[in-house]
Amino acid sequence: MVLPLLPALPNESQHARVTRALREGIQMGLLAPGEKLPGSRELARHWGVARNTVTGVLEQLQAEGYLDVRARSGTMVAELPPQPSAPEALASPPLALSAWARRALESQGRPPGVAVWTGRSEQGSQAEWTDFRLGQSPSGLFPSAQWAQALAKHAYDAASSPPDPRGPLVTRLALCEWLRRERGARLTPDMLLLTGGAQEALDALSRLLLEAGRVAALEDPGYPGARAAFQATGASLWPLAVDAQGVLPNGLPPRAVLAYLTPGPQFPTGVTLSAARRSALLDWSRRSGAWLIEDDYAADLHYAARPPAALQGQAPERVMLLGTFSQSLAPALRSGYLVAPVHVTELLTRTRPVTQRTPPTLDALALAEFLSGGGYAKHLRRARSELRSRHDTLLSALQSALPGWSPRPVPAGTHLYLPLPPGLSELEVQRRAAQAGVGLSVAGELRLRAGEAALLLAFAHLTPPAIREGVERLAGALR
């Protein structure tokens, strides 16, 4: 029996097409075990392909165990082991997870007692849905043409550059200059490690510093990525309350290994850490020996006023500074950085090959071009202006549609914090909003302990008309 060729798949070679036809024919029982195949010349003529193609296919399927070539007897279909039935084929032995994997999976869940609406209205089409939830990428701001030019310019350099686990020196030099000038940081290139983003830096620091029996302090509410990285190590989490001046220093634990902070603006409340609180945190770090991990996640996206200088600039021996270009450029670039004392970056450089050899070199070289050539600064001027417009549109729409509420303006970033009036629960507001076609994030999703009920409204990905329409729907759902 000679099987017909199956229809070709997109971009499929003749070799792959013939191989697929024969292999599937044997698997489906169309060619019985022991059945002799015609010679390669006859098969080539029948299928209209080159004889060399057929010869290569027969050799490949023999190596895979589907064919048996016998001297002076020709090519036979091999005896295959019994195939399990469909349910058995899908079954697999249970996976014995490590303690790290169990903790990492548990950290993806919500803290006990936090109820969050996870449904979505089935009414209305996708076009009628306004999504204010966190995690959206800013729209219409990425300088794609300029970035493409930078990538093309450095493609050869990236392919020929020797790998450096810290990242290309030219990028670290450009980033040092930027952080000194714009953020008041104190650093040298050997204090800087390029990363694939803030989460990679948090994971690396967590593995280096934390384990079961150690304590990590972090803001509450705060960034869930930090909580997940710390919890996966088995360390105990110590929540730090946040008020209008930032983290409350009197809640700092005496035996913590580190404290994770977002000084300006704080995530997610948008408040700026006061000067007095900054001094208190640095004093605690020096007395206790604990590290301060400063996440500068939105400093480049300030539009109301310039943010205070980085905390790292006040105490580079006690503060590790991490940041990312995921919001200011695009998440897909996977570009970030970690600034730490030299002995810390040396340890991270030595442990890095366990999980990743080097950061993405081509993106790093393009970033250096963007930073040193003025392209990034030009992009930020445009992005800040546009984000300010969207922020002000959202603030004005909320004040008009929900009088009596107290939306909190933010000086930087891509979302607005909206405390709920007394008597309203986050779960109920989420449910009613979803039924009206509005997606919301809430502060409870980011808390370790119960606290102020609030909505988190992302706006950077929405146009002003979409923002106003979404707020009108939200207000209508809550009337």
> What is the C-alpha to C-alpha distance for residues 253 and 405, in angstroms, rounded to an integer?
35
The mean pLDDT value of the chain amounts to: 88
pLDDT per residue, tens digit, the chain (479 aa), is 677 888 888 888 999 999 998 888 888 888 888 888 888 898 898 888 999 999 999 989 898 889 988 777 788 888 887 665 555 545 557 777 788 888 888 776 554 444 444 454 444 444 578 999 998 888 888 888 888 888 888 887 777 777 788 999 999 999 999 999 999 999 999 999 999 889 999 999 999 999 999 999 999 999 999 999 999 999 999 999 999 999 998 889 989 999 999 998 999 999 999 999 999 999 999 999 999 999 999 989 998 878 889 999 999 999 999 999 988 988 777 889 999 999 999 999 998 878 776 777 888 899 999 999 999 999 999 999 999 999 999 999 999 999 989 999 999 999 999 999 999 999 999 999 999 999 999 999 999 999 999 999 999 999 999 999 999 999 999 98
User: Quick one: pLDDT at residue 109?
Assistant: 59
User: Quick one: pLDDT at residue 123?
Assistant: 44
User: Quick one: pLDDT at residue 91?
Assistant: 59
Domain locations in the chain as residue ranges? 1-92, 115-139+378-478, 144-374
User: Quick one: pLDDT at residue 102?
Assistant: 83
Find out whether the peptide bond into 407 is cis, omega within 30 degrees of 0: no
Q: Which residues of 124-163 are buried (b: 16+ CB within 10 A; e: fewer)?
A: eeeeebbbbbbebbbeebbbeebbeebeeebeeebeebee
User: How many CB atoms neighbour CB 165 within 10 A?
Assistant: 17
Question: 1-92: which CATH topology?
Answer: Arc Repressor Mutant, subunit A (1.10.10)
User: Quick one: pLDDT at residue 347?
Assistant: 93
Q: What global pTM score does this model have? A: 0.79
CATH of domain 115-139+378-478: 3.90.1150.10
> What is the C-alpha to C-alpha distance for residues 227 and 52, in angstroms, rounded to an integer?
59
For residue range 444-474, list pLDDT tens digits in order. Answer: 999 999 999 999 999 999 999 999 999 999 9
Stated as kind and residue range, the H or E segment containing 224 is helix 224-232
User: Quick one: pLDDT at residue 92?
Assistant: 59
In this structure, what is the dihedral angle of CA atoms 387, 389, 394, 399, given to the nearest 10 degrees? Answer: 140
Tokens for 411? 């000086």
Stated as kind and residue range, the H or E segment containing 180 is helix 169-183
> What is the C-alpha to C-alpha distance for residues 36 and 188, in angstroms, rounded to an integer?
72
CATH of domain 144-374: 3.40.640.10
User: Quick one: pLDDT at residue 122?
Assistant: 44
Residues 6+ apart with CB under 8 A from 52: none
For residue range 178-200, list pLDDT tens digits in order. Answer: 999 999 999 999 999 999 889 99
User: Quick one: pLDDT at residue 383?
Assistant: 92
User: Quick one: pLDDT at residue 213?
Assistant: 94
Contact 407, 398 (CB under 8 A): yes
User: Quick one: pLDDT at residue 108?
Assistant: 67
